[in-house]
Structures are given as structure tokens and as C-alpha cells.
Amino acid sequence: MSLSVYDEVIYFEELNRADEEEITVVMYESADAVRGHDPNTETEAVNTRRKLQTQQAGSRCYRLTAVCLGLLCVLLLIAITLLWINFNNLTAERDQLQAERDGLQRRLSELGKAAQEGWIYFSSSIYYISTEKKSWSESREDCRERGADLLIINSREEQKFIHKLRGGQHAWIGLTDGEREGVWKWVDGSALITGFWRTGEPNRSDEHCVITGYESDPVKNWADFPCNDQFVWICENRISMKQ
């Protein structure tokens, strides 16, 4: 569309040059007529000149109109492009919100099912405490079969929550120095940073697995025990509402 407008502009410029040349010829003819004192010729020359001036003015007006229409078309094209971009952005945001809503509904459904199976929710995780006793390795295997793993305690608040959950029982948690004596690691491979050991614990080189609840203190009650001893255990499954 832009090339068509410019072609018209060039055409009208050539037309104007032709008009100007024609006006010049008429003026010379009019001058000759004046020298001959022919009233009819002089009047005809004036009328012709006025007619040509009117045509020239009309040509300029048309050219200006064509340019304005071209600019209007460009502005409309820009507006349509911006509207299309905004529409695509809104569509993407809608799809993202839909995905988040579906993920939330799915997680809520999973939480409802887990609650029926004895899991308890706390701070982005669900917890399960067994009703039977097993060794540390057997306990961890049971947690894995449930899609989880032995408990990892990351904060004082979580430690207090577990104190209430275990109901006075000694329970295995997912902490061991089985790979290297004295180097305690969680079941996910992360190193122990903050521990809640009972005073004097850990205290033996042949005890490589950890229980919580060895003391009445709700916080400092961890102790190391032989991994083959049998206790109840606590599984943890971290969840995310964004998925």
C-alpha cells in the first residue's frame, strides 16, 4: 500500500511540472495577445490561467489526501499489530492461570486422599507415622513404597510438630552417618546443618541411625541407635501447590 501512495505522489509531481510548462506557454501567448491588443485573446488567456491554477490546487489537495490515507493505513496496521500482541499475551496468561488452577485442584484432591490414608499436612509437607515397628532400613523402604521417604527435619517449628505427632513414641527419622562415621546426612544426601540432639548425643561409633523422642524435651531429643533396632517411623512427602 505504501508503494502505491508514493507512485501517485511522483505521478502528480510530473503532472504539476507539465501544468507549469503549460501555464508558461499560455502566459507567453497571452503576452503576445496583449501586444496585439486583442481583448478576446486576453480574456481567454486569463480564463485558461485560472482554470489551470484551479486544477493545480486540486491536484495538490488530492495528493495531500492520498498521503493522509497512507499514514492512516500505517497507523491502523500498527494498532492491529498491538491488539494482536495483547490478545496473545492475555491468552497465555489465561492458560497459565488455568494450569495453576488445575494443579491446585489436583493437589487438593491428593491431600484429601492422603488424609484418608492417615497422612497429616504441615508446612508444605504431609507426614505419616507407622503403627508397627521395623529397623531403619525397613522403615525407609516402607516410606518409599508410599511415594515418600523418611522424615527430614529442617526447622525448630517442624521439630515441635513432630514431637506432637509421634505421641511420646521413639521414631526413626531420615538421618544417618552410615557412609562415614560422624558425618551425618539426610536421606536426600544433604548434610546436617541444624541438629536437635539430646545432651550427650550422638555418643557411640556403632550407632549410625537416629531416632527422635529419646527425651521429654520437645526440641532436643535426638539420639543415635543401632540401625537394626526396631521403632516406629515417620515418612515425609513434600508437596507443591504450584504443580
DSSP string covering 123-151: TTEEEEE-SS-B-HHHHHHHHHHTT-EE-
**Read out DSSP for 200-224?**
T-S--TT--EEEE-SSSSSSS-EEE
CATH superfamily, region 118-238:
Mannose-Binding Protein A, subunit A (3.10.100.10)
pLDDT-wise least confident of 62-66, 70-74, 94-98, 238-242: 238-242
Contact yes or no for 173/198 (Cβ under 8 A): no
Side chain identity at residue 49, one-letter code: R
Quick one: what percent of the chain has pLDDT higher than 70?
81
Q: Given this model, what pLDDT does residue 15 score?
A: 45
Enumerate the domain spans of the chain.
2-113, 118-238
What's the CA gap between 133 and 148, in Å, rounded?
Answer: 18
Please report the pLDDT score of residue 108 as a whole number. Answer: 74
| Higher pLDDT, residue 107 or 225 | 225
**211 or 39: which carries more pLDDT confidence?**
211
Mean pLDDT of 57-74: 83
pLDDT (tens digit, 9 = 90+) per residue, 77-99? 899 999 999 888 988 888 888 88
Contact 231, 129 (CB under 8 A): no
Q: Is 121 helix (H, G, I), strand (E, B) or coil?
A: strand
End-to-end CA gap in the chain: 49
